[in-house]
Structure 1
Amino acid sequence: MKNIHPENYIVTPPFLIAEAPTVVKLKASDDEKKEALHEVSKKLGELQDKMYANNRYSVLIVLQGMDTSGKDSLIKQVFKNFNARGVVVYSFKQPNSAELKHDYLWRHYIALPDKGKFAVFNRSHYENVLVTRVHPEYLLKENLPSIEDVKDVPANFWKQRYEQINNFEKHLVLNGTIVLKFFLHISKEEQRQRLLRRLELKSHNWKFSPADLDERQLWDEYQQYYEEAINNTSRPHAPWYAIPADDKKLARLLVAKTILKELEKYNFHEPEVNEEVLEHINAYKRKLESEKD
């Protein structure tokens, strides 16, 4: 679809979350969006094959959003045409006891993609400046020096975390990882409707948790801290994209087109074939063909 322009959604601070759209009016049917996504997904799969052969870059896709923002279904649809070896998805929950023995970035470091591959972080290191910001008591589990109570958290603590995350991502980029971050931006009303569907559709009941309603009561706090985190960490080398996500099909298409457009800048191509192989390619073919019964 020619009237979709991913660059319209890149975040250049100052970002005001209240003014960012959650829906875009597009003269296209659901079937047209689905077909467009299929075509873009195929191109992404082909491009990843070239990137794998090139073996110099990897790609980190970060997905963040409020509950029900559509992260799981987006991953399923956008990356369905990838070779299974080319993409790994990590869904980060609350850190376990082993992870808590390390700093908060450790579990994300060890999940980074190999060269030639994609990693998708379904929730990410940003939980440590979002959920932990809304629930600062979670910090106490990290056993940080000099913090034994929430009251001990220094005034510059969160600014330091933003700097640590920026340094982490800059280090990745300088060493060949392409970092693209997507905030799936839904409205509070759309979240209400999606939670209701989880309760009304028996096949979706398993997705619902009473904790979803507790977190919904903290909507304004989450919006505030999303805005702050995005403003402090959207950088040219690791940009945030605020994706209108009330329409799931359009959100998937926007994310897919953004990834494709960014990766096309790198002009990935397969390495040149060894001259000896080229020189004797017909002989190799004859040898293999002669083995045929």
Structure 2
Amino acid sequence: MVKIGYRILKTAFGAGISIAIAQLLQLTFYASAGTVTMLCIQRTRKKSYEIAWQRFLACLIGLSVAAAMFTVFGYHPWTIILIILISIPLMIRFKAKESVIASSVFIFHLYVLKHITWSLILNELALMVIGVSVALLLNLFMPSADQELRRFQQKIEENFRIIFHEMSQYLRVGDHDWNEMEMVETGRLLKEAKERSVHNVENRFDEEELWFYRYFQMRDKQFDVLDHLLPHITSFHPYSDHGEKLADFLDEIAEGIHSGNTAEVYLDKLDKMNEEYRKMPLPQTEEEFDMRAVLFLIMNEIRRYLTIKKSLAK
């Protein structure tokens, strides 16, 4: 069964309302007002404003060129060709190229009637104003995506916890049966969440929606760090005292994953651990040297992860 979405409902009601208003005002070609409304209903308020301005500007350009060409050369099919060849570059020049088709409707109105008067020009502009206005009014009503975004947030945070616990588990027992499914799923969730948060910002323009946008951008950067961190973890020799202590720290970070700012606490702990490791005796073998190098790489990546989180609170 096909689901009728919010945008479809607005498009249907908007077209009907625009036609009813134009018909009530006894405008010629009143059905065209409905066409304009349908073309102006967009997924976001921001996009609707941009399209509405483009439609109106393209209409002015199309009517102006058409009026001049029809007056000079008459009402012939080849005049239409000339009008289109002149008006389309102008629309592109003034960044209204997406409205070429909409403007052509008004050009064809003049061609069908084969006369140009000020009352007819005002009629066409009225159709455009009605169609655009109804679309903009309806697009003021946009459903909030807050609940959906919070579900994305909860699932992404849960996956982050699992990833940290799995890395901690590797440091304790070595290779185990984790299939890294959470890594793949988190990448997909972040992509969807970022797209949805952008639409929400363009719809509502308030501080909370901006917070969600910044939050998912932050998690995406952190996920990139985790992607770089994982190979270092799997190359570290398990069963060591250093690995056990690092594993405990990763478990702490996992349990502290939420939207609040806990990064400062973990950065302080990381500084203390880093200082302890630097005071250790120098490695005696090549293997110890390699493990020490990997250890510092892991800690640097963790620092990068925590610093990214800290930036969200600024």
Given the two structures, how large is their TM-score scaled by the length of structure 2? 0.23
Structure with bigger strand share is 1
Larger Rg: 2
Task: Write 1 or 2 for the structure with the bigger share of helix.
Answer: 2
**Which of 1 and 2 has higher RCO (CA within 8 Å, sep 6+)?**
1
